[in-house]
Amino acid sequence: MQPTATVLVYSDDSNTREQVRLATGRRPAPDVPVVEFVECATPAAVLRELDKGGIDVCVLDGEAVPMGGMGVCRQIKDEVFNAPPVLLLIGRPQDAWLATWSRAEAAVTLPVEPVEFAAALASLLRTQRLQSA
């Protein structure tokens, strides 16, 4: 059985969650594990899933309503012990400074561009794998 990585995807928009799944495919790069998704549509659901453990990377929608991914990111970095790395989906390239403020490890713009997204996700999965080894 091949190893898997669990990626939490937070967005109130099911189309955004689908873009993330499609851009990732089974795995975002040949040298990282196959990805399984946990989808969340509310900040409360994100916190519940993180409390359970087992999340390798979070993908958070910065444009989500009522609480954007930047606020969720900052909250989990403050409140979740050993919070997983975060890939933030931002509305405009000019919002990159907000991603830094939120303490996200990476950011890509919406709509999801598959090659850019997969490269960013694979990078975080590699880093996470090295840290947990």
State the total domains in the chain: 1
Q: Amino acid letter at 98?
A: L
* Contact between 99 and 90 (Cβ < 8 Å): yes
pLDDT 10s digits, 115-124: 999 999 999 9
Give the structural domain span for 26: 4-132
Average pLDDT for 25-43: 96
CATH value at residue 99: 3.40.50.2300
Average pLDDT for 8-34: 97
pLDDT at 132: 67
pLDDT at 85: 97
DSSP 92-127: SGGGHHHHHHHT-SEEEESSP-HHHHHHHHHHHHHH
pLDDT at 3: 87
Q: Please tell me the pTM assigned to this model.
A: 0.96
